[in-house]
Chain A
Amino acid sequence: MTATDDRPATTPAPEIGQARKRKEDQHLITGRTTWTDNMTLPGMVHLAILRSPMAHATISNIDVSGALSRPGVIAAYSGQDFADTQGVIPCAWPVTPDMVNPGHPSLAVSQVNHVGEAVAVVVARDKASAQDALEAIEIDYEPLPVVLDMEAAVADGADLVHGHTSSNRSYTWAFESGAAGTGAPIDEVLGAAEVTVKRRFIQQRLIPAFMEPRSTVVQPIGEGFTMWSATQVPHILRTMLALTLGVAEHKVRVIAPDVGGGFGGKLQVTPEEVITTLVARKLGKPAKYTESRSESLMSAHHGRDQIQDITITAQRDGTVTGLDVHLYADMGAYLRLVSPGVPVLGAFMYNSIYKFQAYRFVCEGVFTNKTPTDAYRGAGRPEATFAIERIMTELADELGMDPMELRRKNWIKHEEFPFTSVCGLTYDSGNYEAATDRALELIGWDELRAEQAQRRESKDPVQLGLGISTFTEMCGLAPSRVLGSLDYAAGGWENAAIRVLATGKVEVVTGASAHGQGHETAWSQIVADQLGVPFEDIEIIHGDTQSSPKGLDTYGSRSLVVGAIAVVKAAEKVVAKARRIAAHMLEANEDDLDFAGGTFKVRGVPGEGKSIQEIAFATFAAHDLPDGMEPSLDADATYDPENFSFPHGTHLCAIDIDTETGHAKIRKYVCVDDIGHVINPLIVDGQVHGGLAQGIAQALYEEAIYDEDGNLTTGTFVDYLLPSAADLPSFTTDRTVSPSTSNPLGVKGVGEAGTIASTPAVVNAIVDALRPWGINDIQMPCTPERVWRAINEGAEHSERDPSGTVAYGGASTSTSDGTYAEGDQL
């Protein structure tokens, strides 16, 4: 039973559901920020890192001594100097027992495997001196064959990324509904199909591109150290650094101060964090490393990069029967924290909201000489949602059915919940009909279809396309036992503690680690309702392993669904303790007390009652407490969810295609999301808007491109295109509410919904516009050139020229930042 359950109807307006303005904003809008790079400590030294210009090479010689004679330089190290102490970057998700993990040194020792890999570090009294001295490092590379194409990489006789392995295949992970007992055998269903549609979709490589470049400050203290880092995961980082470096965990403190976005990109134990720690401990001085944007784009982990071969089968009437998924997933050169698990996270989502009889998922993780991939907003689920929403649309085209009617025919009806999917997941709640009907109404679907027909008829150079995405996702990572069954090394619980101070003010300690999500505001609203204390009287403490010692941090839309439930559980314990003291103070039986609006009253007895603040002070004074009761209202709780939550929604996109140039411009975007109960609609809308922007950007703009030598040619924001305000539409958002039945708040999580849902809506819209040309796919990003080639050459999967543009009249901006540039290239 929750504390909310025993509130009578007279309770003041709840905080939950209010559009509270954020507590976090004040220091952010006045520039009183604590970004890691803002920090200066007495005696601090600064690092600059030399990065490999080669995608694959043996380091035949490296001499850092030249840097030592440069002004202000304190030290310089190559990988050989740390070969025995640096350990390897941890991979916490060995998805199969025979997964090959080649080992990932933070500073390359004898071989480099991707452009941008760290090969040496210079330490100086200021950053400029360190940067200047990089050019004095002598390093010779013996080139090795560069492995870039995944299919070529797994072919017989392929050149190897890692010579000590037997192939470039890291693992093969498989699921099959017949074997799992969650559905029919896939081969039987595929064989009996009346209609079969096969497609290959390319999930291009993306870069998370958080706005704050990564930065790390390490202060050695005694046997251990304190690290400030731009990280999403201070708790995981602490544990992993302790294991990697052999420092006792209790001697390590990690602080995530203000963190400027992450999107999965800061869910990592980075080589730079390890290098900074090694240097600080070696010199006994506080040390700072802050990357440039160019360094970030080439060395911080990337996302997506999968080849998806999808087969769907159906009966002639449109009833879907089987779904067969094969992935090649590019790991890049190494396995980082959860690299292998990212595609596997999508394994249970390809079937989405549809009732398949049989399902198979096979994923092969492949090494290439590219930057490692890892989590990026949605992590596995955007890929799954894209594939199923695209293939459903293609199936509808094959059957001559309306794409929405095909979906309606096959999705789980609202009265069928809870529903166990062909993967064995139990979807607890949802109402796809309601969300879809609302979305169709908001966008004016029928009018747009009429306009489309008219434009086709008149051969208007600007054609209109309409795209659908009816998505679900699994959020709230994750039930620990499920993670265990997937061979993840850690659990998925979250911890919270509540401290009630003498004056009735409340401190809430959370293991979630926000970097823009608004936890301080949302958690305050939740606790205000739970304890009946004012919103303003609550302080949220997070992001420092010393003050919030236990947690598993923020990713996978888990903070509210797991982290905030832990807060609720702690609050329930506080209320239970307070109830006992209140009963003592009121000389009543605990069972006769009502708790509402922060006050305990004896049921049916008029009078003042005792407020939580009065009880707090009485507890502090401890003069007269119930016998045997310790003088504390404080409580903590660790919550491990029993199930995922399953947000869903219907996203619709109307897009104008200039068929003469190929340019696509979104005219209207409507989404109706069902994320269960909403704590703060202001924050939820913001999360949806931002998620949409990222998902749309995958469809239209973003792609990390390597040339044939393995250079990242989208190495700056000139060529890795993020949309600006001028490139995006105003979104129309709305919600339906089907509360989750898996947690006491009825919440589902919203951090990734917009990103997961929007990409296929946009691409479906583009393909819809181009159907009259016989086009049934456009490779992402759907650049004007690709759209134009599809129209004019039927080239649906045209390769882009990998050459970077000549921005500012420089050379190609790849591998820039002067780490190897020589001479004046102007």
Chain B
Amino acid sequence: MIPVSFDYVRPGSAAEAVQALVEAGEDGKILAGGQSLLPILRLRLAYPETVIDLGGISELVGVTDDGDGIVIGAMTTHDDVLHDSLVAQHAPLLAQATRTVADPQVRHRGTFGGALAHADPAGDLPAVALALDAELRLQSASGQRSVSAKDFFLDYLTTALEPGEILTSIRIPKLGDGWSTHYEKFNRVAQAWSIVAVAAAVRRSNGTITEARLGLTNMGPTPLRATATEQALAGADASAAAVRAATDQAAEGTSPPSDLSAKADYRRHLATVLTRRAVLTAAGI
């Protein structure tokens, strides 16, 4: 219940944060909302020498409209995401998924950027970012760069963030006409992590599904796209039978974990059921 001792710095800008991270070296740890880091520290599963708190950097907070997309500051809390009108209008999938993250207290502190940088495959938001083709903006001493969500999540708890680099904002492209979304989450008790969840964005034109983007939560060491199902859905009839046929392939290419919540084969089954439900709900079928 008591973390190990560490030094604490609270930079006032992203540039200062990057500088502090460089100075701290490999024993530095970024504190965003702290809702994963503090439990890890309390359980003494991590031993940072320096904790760099991004909580004092106002430039990392807030949601803006850049025309074709919205840009969410990495330190924007889940609660602020939930209450943001731009998110509600342009990324309702993110709002819906965020509402299922942990509980109200955690959502008041936890941040969108923190959840992505932590890259827990059981977390809800990485799969959403992946399904929405989010673009992650990173900053280091050598400048800024952008990485797409599909290139950001590399492995279990491992991202494209280089040493000395922080996540500053996330850009989510606006979905155009005909798109609708749904987040389908499955767990045993309300406050638990997803056993499996599916983030679905589906574009419908008349009686046809023209495009689908499907992000899978907890089906491998990283969030995954259900690529085979996406391909099968493109051009498919907007019918229950066609969706079922396509979503039966939802677990293709996944490598889900086995643990006391579910063995891998059951997770693969869940992925097909939940993907079907997510697509049917999103597409209004």
Contact = CB atoms under 8 A, between A and B. Distances in A.
- Does chain A touch chain B in the assembled complex, meaning CB atoms less than 8 Å apart? yes
B258 A823 contact: no
Interface in A220-275: none
Contacts of A807: 39, 122, 193
Interface string B3-44: 011000000000000000000000000000000100110011
A804 B260 contact: yes
B262 interface: yes
A788 interface: yes
Interface residues of B, number: 38
B258 A801 contact: yes
Interface in B250-285: 257-263, 266, 269-270, 273-274
A806 B266 contact: no
Contact of A823 (B39, B47, B188, B274): B47
A826 B261 contact: no
Q: Report the interface size class on chain A.
A: 35 or more
Interface in A689-737: 701, 705, 713-714, 716, 718-719, 721-724, 726-727
B232 to A, nearest CB: 20
A801 B260 contact: yes
A719 to B, nearest CB: 6
A806 B193 CA distance: 10
Contacts of A810: 39-40, 43, 45-46
Given A784-B188, A823-B47, A808 B263 contact: no
Nearest to A716: B43
Contact of A825 (B2, B45, B263): B45
Interface string A118-134: 00000000011001100
Interface stretch (A21-29, A434-442, A495-503, A811-819): A811-819
A826 B46 contact: yes
B43 A818 contact: yes
Given A806-B122, A808-B39, A808-B120, A663 B45 contact: no
A292 interface: yes
Given A811-B45, A816-B43, A817-B43, A805 B193 contact: yes
A241 to B, nearest CB: 27
A809 interface: yes
A130 to B, nearest CB: 9
A410 interface: no
B189 A721 contact: yes
B260 A802 contact: yes
Contacts of A127: 2
B186 interface: yes
Contact of A727 (B4, B120, B190, B273): B190
Contacts of A131: 1-2
Contacts of A741: none
Contacts of A784: 186, 188, 195, 262
A62 to B, nearest CB: 21
A821 interface: yes
Nearest to B123: A809
Nearest to A714: B260
B206 interface: no
A806 B44 CA distance: 14
Contacts of A726: 189-191
A824 B274 CA distance: 35
B43 A294 contact: yes
A570 to B, nearest CB: 44
B36, B258, B261: residue with the most chain A Cβ atoms closer than 10 Å: B261
A713 B191 CA distance: 19
Given A721-B188, A824-B46, A803 B273 contact: no
Contact of A826 (B45, B186, B189, B270): B45
B46, B47, B120, B266: residue with the most chain A Cβ atoms closer than 10 Å: B266
B45 to A, nearest CB: 4
B260 A805 contact: yes
Interface of A: 127-128, 131-132, 292-294, 660-661, 663, 701, 705, 713-714, 716, 718-719, 721-724, 726-727, 783-785, 788-789, 792, 800-811, 813, 816-818, 821, 823-826
Given A788-B269, A826-B46, A661 B186 contact: yes
A132 B186 contact: no
28 contacts: A131-B2, A132-B5, A292-B1, A293-B1, A701-B189, A705-B260, A718-B193, A724-B189, A724-B191, A784-B186, A784-B188, A785-B261, A785-B263, A788-B269, A789-B266, A804-B259, A804-B260, A805-B259, A805-B261, A806-B257, A807-B122, A808-B120, A809-B118, A810-B45, A821-B43, A825-B46, A826-B40, A826-B157
Given A701-B189, A808-B45, 16 more contacts: A660-B273, A705-B260, A718-B192, A718-B193, A783-B188, A788-B266, A803-B258, A805-B193, A806-B120, A809-B36, A810-B39, A816-B45, A821-B43, A821-B44, A826-B46, A826-B157
B282 to A, nearest CB: 18
A293 B46 CA distance: 18
B255 to A, nearest CB: 14
A603 to B, nearest CB: 63
Nearest to B264: A801
Contacts of B156: 809
Contacts of B120: 806, 808-809
Contacts of A132: 2, 4-5
B106 to A, nearest CB: 11
A788 B265 CA distance: 11
A825 B157 CA distance: 11
Contacts of A826: 40, 45-46, 157
